[in-house]
Structure 1
Amino acid sequence: MAFLTEWFWFFLFLPLAALSGWIIGRRGGQRHGDTQVSRLSSTYFRGLNYLLNEQPDKAIELFLHIAELDKETFETQVALGHLFRRRGEVDRAIRLHQGLVQRADLSDAQRVQALLALGEDYMRSGLLDRAETVFTDLARIDQRAPQALKHLIGIYQAERDWEKAIDNARRYEEVTTEPMGKLIAQFECELAERHRTANSVDAARAAVARAYQADAGSVRAGIIEGRIESDAGNSEAAIRAFERAARHDPDYLPEVLPSLLAGYEQVGDLSGARAFLSEMCEHYRGIAPVLALTRLVERQDGVAAARAYLARQLKDRPSVRGEAALIDLTLAEGADASATLHDLKHITDQLLVRNPSYRCTQCGFGARTHHWQCPSCKEWGTIKPLLNYAVV
Structure 2
Amino acid sequence: MSFLLWLLLPVAAASGWLVAQHQKRRKPISSHLSPDYLKGLNYWLREEPDKAIDIFIKLIDVNNETFETHLALGVLFRRRGEVNQAIHIHQNIIKIPTLDPQKRNLALFELAHDYQNAGLFDRAEDVFKNLLIVENYQIPALSQLLKIYEQEQEWEKAIKVAQKLAKLSGKKMPIAQYYCEQAENYREQGNTNRVQQLIQKALDTDPFCVRASIIEASLALENNDYRQAIVAFKRVEKQDHKYIIEIIDDLHDCYHAIGQIDQFQVYLQAILNRYDEITPILSFVKIIQQQLGRQQAIDFVSKQMLERPSLCSINSFLALSKADNTLLHNTITQLLNNKAFYKCNNCGFTARKLYWHCPSCKKWNTMKSIQGIDGD
Query: Normalising by structure 1, what TM-score?
Result: 0.82
| SS at structure 1 position matched to 2:230 | helix
Report the AA paired with residue 124 of structure 2: A
Unaligned runs of 5+ in 1: 26-30, 332-336
Q: Residue 344 of structure 1 aligns with which residue?
A: 328
What is the letter of the counterpart of residue 152 of structure 2? E
Q: Which of 263, 281, 298 is matched with 1:290 structurally?
A: 281
Could you tell me the percent identity over the aligned residues?
A: 35
Q: Counterparts in 2 of 1:1-392, with a 5 A limit?
A: 2-10=1-9, 17=14, 54-65=47-58, 67-68=60-61, 70=63, 73-140=66-133, 144-180=137-173, 183-331=174-322, 337=323, 340-387=324-371
For the residue of structure 1 that corresponds to 2:321, the secondary structure is: helix
- The secondary structure found in structure 1 opposite 2:325 is helix
Q: Aligned pair in 2 of structure 1 residues 45, 120: CA closer, same or farther (>3 Å)?
A: farther
What is the CA distance between 1:56 and its match in structure 2?
Answer: 2.4
CA contact (8 A) 1:310 1:326 kept: yes
Distance 2:236 2:62 in 1: 63
Q: Secondary structure at the match of 2:368?
A: strand
Structure 2 match to 1:28: none
- Counting matched residue pairs gives 366
Once residues 65 and 197 of structure 2 are traced to their aligned partners in structure 1, the CA distance between those partners, rounded to angstroms, is 54
Distance change (3 Å), C-alpha of 1:127 and 1:275: same
Give the conservation status (yes or no) of the 8 Å contact 1:264–1:272: yes
**Offset of residue 154 of structure 1:** 0.8
Measured after TM superposition, the shift of residue 146 of structure 1 is 1.7
Note the C-alpha offset of 1:162: 0.8
For the aligned residue pairs, the C-alpha RMSD in angstroms reads: 3.2
Offset of residue 290 of structure 1: 0.6
How high is the TM-score relative to the length of structure 2? 0.85
Q: CA deviation at 1:276?
A: 1.7
Distance 1:135 1:210, change over 3 A: same
- Pairwise CA distance, 1:295: 0.8
- Mapped partners of 1:40, 1:173: distance in 2: 55
- Contact 2:64/2:100 (CA < 8 Å) preserved in 1? no
Which stretches in structure 2 are left out of the alignment for 5+ residues? Answer: none
Which letter does structure 2 place at the counterpart of 1:117?
Answer: E
C-alpha distance in 2 between matches for 1:306 and 1:241: 29
Offset of 1:263 from its aligned partner?
Answer: 1.6
Specify the code of the residue in structure 2 equivalent to 1:363: C
Pick 1 or 2: higher relative contact order, CA cutoff 8 A, min separation 6: 1
Residue 334 of structure 1 is matched in structure 2 by none
Measured after TM superposition, the shift of residue 102 of structure 1 is 3.7
Kept in 2, the 8 Å contact 1:288–1:389? The answer is no
Counterpart-to-counterpart distance in 2, 1:40 and 1:276 = 84
